[in-house]
Structures are given as C-alpha cells and as structure tokens.
Structure 1
Amino acid sequence: MARVNVFIKYSMFIFNFVFWLCGMLILAVAIWIRVSKANKEIVNSGDTEVSSNASVNILIAVGAIIMILGFLGCYGAIKENRCMLLSFFIGLFLILLLQVASGIREASSKSKSESRLNETLHENAKLLSETSERGKEFRKIMAEFQTENKCCGLFNGADDWGTNFEQVYESCKCSNPPDSCTSYAGKNIHKQVCFPLIRDLVLNRSRMIIGTSFGVAFVEVLGLVFSMILYCQIGKK
C-alpha cells in the first residue's frame, strides 16, 4: 500500500498557511483601495463620475474566499482528507479564474479609464471658477487637495479658479524653493498643477489591482499542483 509523501503533505500545509496570509493581504489591500479617499472625492465630485469599484469588489471577495480555502487546504493536508482537498482544488481553480478575470478587466479598461478621467476633470474644472452653489463641495475638496499635495488648479494653474482665487489662495500659496513656485496676481503659488497628481493616484490604484491579481496567481497554481498530487497519493493508500 502506497504511503503519502510526508514532504508533499507538510509542504502543502506550509503552502496553505502562506496562502492564507496572501488572502489576508489581498483583502487588506482591496479594502484600503476601496475606502481610500485619495482620488475618489476629486474624480467623483461635480457633474460626472469616473471611478468604478467592480474590480476592487471582486478582489475583496477573492481575498475573503482565499482565507477560507487556506484553512480547508491546511486541514485537508494534515488530516489527509480527500474531500477537503478536492473542495480546495475546485474552489481555488474558480477563484484563480475570477482573479485573473479581474486583472484582465482592469488592464483592458486602463486606457479608457484614463481618457474618461481626463474628460471628467475637464468638465469639473469649470466648477472652480463658478460662484453659484453648484459645485461648492467640489471646490472645497479641490482646495483641500491643493493644500495636501502642494499644487494649484487642475490644468491651467490659478487661472482655473477665476474670481474665486482669493478665497483659495492659502491652499495655493507656495513657500517652497523658488523653482517650485510661480507668481500669480503678485502672489507666490505652486507651479505644479493638480491634474498629473490626480492621474497618478488613479493609475497607481489600477496598477495595484493588476499587480495583486496576477502576482498571487503563480502561488495559486502551485496550490493546485500540490493539492492534486496529495489527493492522488491519498487515493492510492
């Protein structure tokens, strides 16, 4: 009667513990991206909306399920339970497909998202120079963003603010080295406009989703291989 390879058995256990930690990492990263206000308030304020959380929501589900699968894999390996190992294999295979689909979806929509972001912010930039109540929340958020990121205006610097510039001057005020400042209406303001910074925040979010989706896929393939080898060995006992 064949015996289960001890090395494979405990390698499977160690792998699943690491896999469980990967699930926790995916869940933490996805939740952080989901709740982060770094770019969401800017791009989703005003007249139009650009961000989609579909890929992030998929990752949250993937992370939670991976943690459950990691437990099943650990238990199945130690107890040599074929039912648990088969459940682990099927669940992991489905999760792998879902995860790769999420990464592909995010990668394929990357250029479209950047174009939509550009259009949205050009539209919302008109709100900066308005004096009506329309877009008041957007102007407030933009002023806060300028203070935190040391930039001024979206595309054309202080000109974007029009007659509202005096009200938000403090958020544009520049006291850094001269090469990062420029003069506007006799006042020193940040030379850097905010659009490139917002774009980078959005693109970094997309890169994190793609990297997380494909980065863990290699580990998951190893899990499929280990679980099937162990499953077959237990069947020969």
Structure 2
Amino acid sequence: MHAILQISGLAILVVGAIIQDVYSDYTDFLHGKFFVGPILLIIVGIIVFVVAFFGCCGAVKENHCMIITYSVFLLIIFGLELAGGITGYVLKQDVQSMLEDNLNTTSKEYGPGNDDITKAWDIMQNDLGCCGVQGPEDWKVAFPNSSLPHSCCPNLALNQDCTLIVTHSTKGCLPSLQATIEHYALVLGGVGIGIGVVQLIGVIFACCLAKSIRKEYETV
C-alpha cells in the first residue's frame, strides 16, 4: 500500500509539473488563479512521497504513534487533493470568457514595445496552428494592408511577408486555446479527486493497521 501511495505521489507531481509547463506558455492570457491547481498538485505530490516513506517506517517498526501521525497527514493531503480537483472543475467554467477578454486585449498590444505579449502570441499561434482571436481577420486592427504576424504562416520563409493572400492558418486561437486549457483543467480535477480517493483508502488501511498494532501491545 505504501508503494502505491509513493507512486501516486510521483504521479501527482508529474501531472502537476506538466500542466504547469503548459500553462506557463500562456501566462499573458490566463489569470493567476489557474496556476494554483498545478502548483498545489506539485506540492502535494512531494508531501505524499515523503509521508508514504514515513508510513512505511511506522509499519516496519510497528509504531502505533507513527501510523496515527501518518493517517492524519494522509487525511490532510486528501483534503488538499480534493480542493485541487474541485478547483480544476470550477475554473473550467471561467475559461471562455477569460480567454476572450484577454486575447482581444493583448492582440491590440502585439508588436514592438510589447515583447512578452508578442512572444506569447507567436508561441500560441505556432503551437496551436491558429491565427487571430476568432480568425485571421482579427489582425486587421493591428496590421495594415492585410498583413499578418509571421506566426500565422508557419510554412513561410522568414524573409517573406505573411498576408491574408498567402497560405496561412485559418482557424482562430480562442477555440483552440480554450479546448487546451479546459482539457488540462479536467485532467487537474480528475487526477486530484481520483488519487485523493486512493489516499482516503490509505487512511482507512493505516487506521486498521494502527488498531491492530495497539491490540498487540494491549495483549502483551
């Protein structure tokens, strides 16, 4: 059981790190609260790994106090994982409106003098194969003469101009980014709650073990 808990802790850590890495590419488009869940999973994953080792020592030594302490830690961890999981599902409801507002705002700031926003848009358009908020036409406000950011034309040479009349990405970034963020929000929720159930089983198992050890002491 302790090995399973250690593996689950490692799994939580890895999933949290992956989601954090994905979200970090879109920092300019996401509210800070979206980073709480992944960071919480990373912290919980580390704690679970350490606590599982502590519980293993308690079981080997048949130490009643260590097992009870282990159970309490697991219960606290279960609460944190449940909170992280619920956060993922709750934030999913805010994705569309948040992204639409942030994409519309930052698209007007694209260009010289706003390197971070420009880089964020280029990364997104390259990674997701998209262009503009709802489509390439959205760039008409920021780009004259039907020009587009070069990241809208991934197959075009760097010395060539990207415009509406050459081959370019035709889908908007809002639907693509929304699908990506919602997917990872669901993963965050599923992993947090799913592995939290495993931790709860661990609490029950540890309590039964502690009760058994206590009975042995009383018998002796």
Residue 233 of structure 1, aligned match among 185, 209, 212? 212
Equivalent residues in 2 for 1:27-38 (5 A)? 27-34=13-20, 36=21, 38=22
2:134 and 2:171 in contact (8 A); partners too: no
1:73 maps to a residue whose letter is G
Structure 2: any 5+ residue segments left out of the alignment? 156-162
Deviation at 1:223, TM superposition (A): 0.8
Q: TM-score under structure 1 normalisation?
A: 0.77
Aligned partners of 2:148 and 2:165: how far apart in 1? 15
Asked if 1:168 is matched to 2:149, the reply is yes
2:152 maps to a residue whose letter is C
Match of residue 141 from structure 1 = 120
Deviation at 1:185, TM superposition (A): 4.0
CA deviations 1:46-82 (Å, max 9, x no partner) are xxx5242222222222111111111122122222111
C-alpha spacing 1:102/1:167, structure 2 compared with 1 (3 Å):
closer
C-alpha spacing 1:39/1:106, structure 2 compared with 1 (3 Å):
closer
Structure 1: any 5+ residue segments left out of the alignment? 1-14, 176-183
Asked if 1:192 is matched to 2:176, the reply is no
Segment of structure 1 superposing worse, 93-102 or 184-193: 184-193
Residue 73 of structure 2, aligned match among 53, 70, 91? 91
Aligned partners of 2:128 and 2:75: how far apart in 1? 43
Aligned partners of 1:173 and 1:76: how far apart in 2? 60
Segment of structure 1 superposing worse, 144-153 or 83-92: 144-153
Match of residue 186 from structure 2 = 207
Asked if 1:40 is matched to 2:20, the reply is no
Asked if 1:122 is matched to 2:104, the reply is yes
Q: TM-score under structure 2 normalisation?
A: 0.82
Aligned partners of 1:164 and 1:17: how far apart in 2? 62
Deviation at 1:165, TM superposition (A): 5.8
1:50 and 1:117 in contact (8 A); partners too: no
C-alpha spacing 1:121/1:28, structure 2 compared with 1 (3 Å):
same
Aligned partners of 1:211 and 1:26: how far apart in 2? 11
- Aligned residue for 1:190, secondary structure, equals coil
Percent identical among aligned pairs is 24
Aligned partners of 1:146 and 1:196: how far apart in 2? 12
2:136 maps to a residue whose letter is G
